[in-house]
Amino acid sequence: MPVDELNMEKLKREKVDWTILLFIILLFSTGAYQRNSVWKNQVEFWKDCVKKSPQKERTHHNLGFVYYERRQWDDARREFEESLKLNPQYALSMYNLGLVFYRKGLLDKAIDHYKKAIQLNSEFPYSFYNLGIAYYQKGFNREAIKAYHKFLEAEPDYENAHSSLGLAYKRLNRRGKAIRSFQEELRIHPENGYAHVYLGDIYREMGEYSKAVSHFKKALNDPNLLDTERIRKAISTMEAVQRR
């Protein structure tokens, strides 16, 4: 989840002194523009801002944000790094630079930048969440769990966060805590199909087929669910075992 100045205002409840930024973001968010046209126009707008104010870290940051949304990782990296040259204490650019490294598969650099972003601003919770994701991808499950817990202290209702925590517990074979995490996800987001899949998988591993089948069937109600064929085959296999 990359963050621009407007989102940061909402997240931190701070005043942003660039009222023009709000106008531009709202303008280009209306349905009157196609998405590609929006980002193309925003690139040109922020490139012009950088040209006129090359010593302002925020102009480089917001140009980097638009590049990130366009999946132009190297361009985004350049602008975030330039922002940090101008202001090494700019936590937002440090965080978004971590996202760029994660997208490029450079997990160690991503972790390093998330940790630096936390040092600069520990009240911005998304650094903890993405730090947890990077740790999980590296196989550092205990570290991931700590990061997820820090995130959940600030954002307990964030979708998929409890599931992410549960997956880290599951890797450590702490099934009880994993199950409680997935159940908490469903308590907050009852339509989350993947939380049902995770519970189905763990109950299947435990040999509790009735519970596994129940969760797999509920998961299939999620229209966004991928790998439905695997789920249907698992249901069929377990129901056949139960009949025997």
Instruction: Domain ranges for the chain, please list them.
Output: 1-124
Q: What pLDDT sits at residue 4?
A: 53
Q: What percent of the chain has pLDDT over 90?
A: 76
Distance CA 94, CA 116 (A): 7
Distance CA 103, CA 187 (A): 31
Instruction: Round to the nearest angstrom and report the end-to-end CA distance of the chain.
Output: 48
Structure tokens at 230: 């695997």
Pick the more confident residue, 38 or 183.
Answer: 183
**Model confidence at 25: pLDDT above 90:** no
**Model confidence at 187: pLDDT above 90:** yes
Q: What angle do CA 208, 210, 216 make, to 5 degrees?
A: 100
Q: What pLDDT sits at residue 53?
A: 86
Q: List phi, psi (to 5°) of 89.
A: -95, 5
**Model confidence at 33: pLDDT above 70:** no
Pick the more confident residue, 210 or 11.
Answer: 210
Distance CA 55, CA 11 (A): 26
The half-sphere exposure of 8 on its side-chain side, counting CA atoms within 13 A, is 24
Mean pLDDT of 18-29: 41
The CATH classification number of 1-124 equals 1.25.40.10
pTM above 0.85, yes or no: no
Q: What percent of the chain has pLDDT over 70?
A: 84
**Model confidence at 221: pLDDT above 60:** yes
Number of H helices, E strands in the chain: 14, 0
Give 148-163 pLDDT, tens digit per residue: 999 999 999 999 999 9
Q: What pLDDT sits at residue 171?
A: 97
Give 103-122 pLDDT, tens digit per residue: 999 999 999 999 999 999 99
Q: What pLDDT sits at residue 40?
A: 64
**Model confidence at 31: pLDDT above 80:** no
Give the chain's radius of gyration (CA, Å): 21
